[in-house]
């Protein structure tokens, strides 16, 4: 499902809904193929060599830049337009940094989820994944970037998440349910994704 955008956007080529890109590709299908190829390679590289950081907004921006930096000029930058999907509005663009800082402060108070019982760990991980998703910091690439960020957070706590082991529709439905603060399905997805 495409995003709804408030106002005009400089992210697209004039009179189109194709993102301005470094390949100057104006065909959506070709751009999708290029994006998929590059991002799959980048995410594969990150699985072997994750971006280290302190889980603040800079860490998230660096992950986004790594995954999308060869494709889009907006890689590694927060969005400057308000967006929604269906009836779900995401964080207003002017409050992205403030809201992420609130989440980061809470995560830091929870000692980045270290030394928690496995059940509580995945409850909290689902909570943070949902909250960051509701901020939706980027114009495009939120899901892939947030999944990598969450994978890194799990990794420093001794858990290896394999997103490929999950049914994509099941994960998407769990994220949609989490919008209404029901994290149970997302928690189950995260737990099922652990490499055992």
Q: Order across the sheet with 83-85: list the strands.
A: 4-5, 83-85, 88-89
Report the CATH number at residue 85.
Answer: 1.10.3290.10
Q: Which domain holds residue 85?
A: 4-192
Contacts of 145 (CB under 8 A, 6+ apart): 60, 63, 64, 67, 68, 137, 138
Q: Where are the alpha helices (DSSP H) in 69-137?
A: 96-109, 118-135
Q: What are the backbone angles phi and psi of residue 194, rounded to the nearest 5°?
A: -70, 135
pLDDT score at 1: 59
> Tens-digit pLDDT profile for the chain (196 aa)?
567 666 557 899 999 999 999 999 999 999 999 999 999 999 999 999 999 999 999 999 999 999 999 999 999 999 999 999 989 999 999 999 999 999 999 999 999 999 999 999 999 999 999 999 999 999 999 999 999 999 999 999 999 999 999 999 999 999 999 999 999 999 999 999 999 7
Structural domains counted in the chain: 1
| Residues linked to residue 84 through DSSP beta bridges, in sequence order | 4, 89
From residue 95, give the alpha-carbon distance in Å to each of 11, 60, 98, 193, 194: 19, 16, 5, 31, 33
Residue 9 pLDDT: 78
* pLDDT for res 8: 59
Residue 4, pLDDT score? 61
pLDDT at position 171:
97
CB 18 within 8 A of CB 35: no
């Amino acid at each position: 499902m495409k995003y709804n955008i408030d106002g005009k956007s400089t992210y697209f080529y004039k009179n189109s809904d194709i993102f301005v890109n470094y390949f100057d590709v104006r065909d959506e299908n070709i751009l999708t193929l290029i994006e998929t190829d590059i991002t799959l390679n980048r995410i594969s590289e990150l699985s072997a060599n994750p971006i280290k950081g302190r889980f603040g907004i800079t860490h998230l921006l660096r992950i986004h830049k790594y995954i999308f930096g060869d494709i889009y000029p907006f890689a590694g930058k927060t969005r400057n337009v308000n967006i929604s999907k269906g009836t779900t509005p995401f964080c207003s663009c002017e409050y992205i940094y403030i809201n992420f800082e609130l989440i980061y402060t809470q995560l830091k108070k929870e000692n980045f989820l270290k030394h928690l019982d496995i059940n509580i760990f995945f409850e909290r991980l689902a909570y943070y994944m949902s909250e960051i998703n509701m901020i939706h910091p980027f114009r495009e690439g939120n899901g892939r970037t947030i999944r990598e960020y969450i994978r890194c957070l799990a990794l420093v706590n001794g858990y290896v998440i394999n997103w490929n082991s999950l049914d994509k529709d099941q994960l998407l439905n769990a994220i949609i349910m989490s919008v209404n603060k029901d994290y149970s399905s997302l928690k189950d997805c995260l737990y099922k994704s652990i490499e055992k």
